[in-house]
Amino acid sequence: DILMEYITQEGKKQDDKRTVPPAVTNAVSWRSEGIKYKKNELFLDVIESIDLMAHANGTIVGCEIIGSLRLKSQLSGMPELRLGLNDRLRYEKIGSDSERTVDLDEVRFHQCVRLSKFEADRDIAFIPPDGEFELMSYR
């Protein structure tokens, strides 16, 4: 009789519904679905500061640029954007030699950037968050 109280043939419904974490489903956690604008706009600001050391005679001893790309995204849906840079590694990958390239060091990206795409062909591919954010910073 005691066992009959605990063993039943009926199932019990589970009250709490579990959801799969966004990382497992490749969902975009930084952007809500269903965003709509009457006018799609994207603003990009390149902000750089230059540290320069020079001798009294004008000879440059050292120079460093610290920069960031800040964006303001007002785009509908889930847009995937691509941005190309003229950095030296990009031109070396495509087999072109250009004197107008730059070296990028200590590059840091927002989580929305697809790092595998950047490593493969030096393109910055991303689905931007809605509003203002820093896409990348560099030296």
- The Cα–Cα gap between 94 and 92 comes to 6
Of 11-15, 101-105, 115-119, the least confident: 11-15
Which of the four pLDDT bands, split at 50, 70 and 90, describes residue 55? very high
Model-wide pTM > 0.75:
no
| pLDDT recorded at residue 84 | 84
Domain ranges of the chain: 30-138
The sign of the torsion formed by the CA atoms of 81, 85, 90, 94 equals: positive
Residue 108 and residue 67 in contact, taking contact as beta carbons nearer than 8 Å:
no
In tens, the pLDDT along 110-129 reads 999 999 988 888 889 999 99
Of 43-57, 87-101, 111-125, the least confident: 87-101
Angle 46-130-121 (CA atoms, 0-180°, nearest 5)? 55
Q: Could you please state the CATH topology (level 3) that the domain comprising 30-138 is classified under.
A: Immunoglobulin-like (2.60.40)
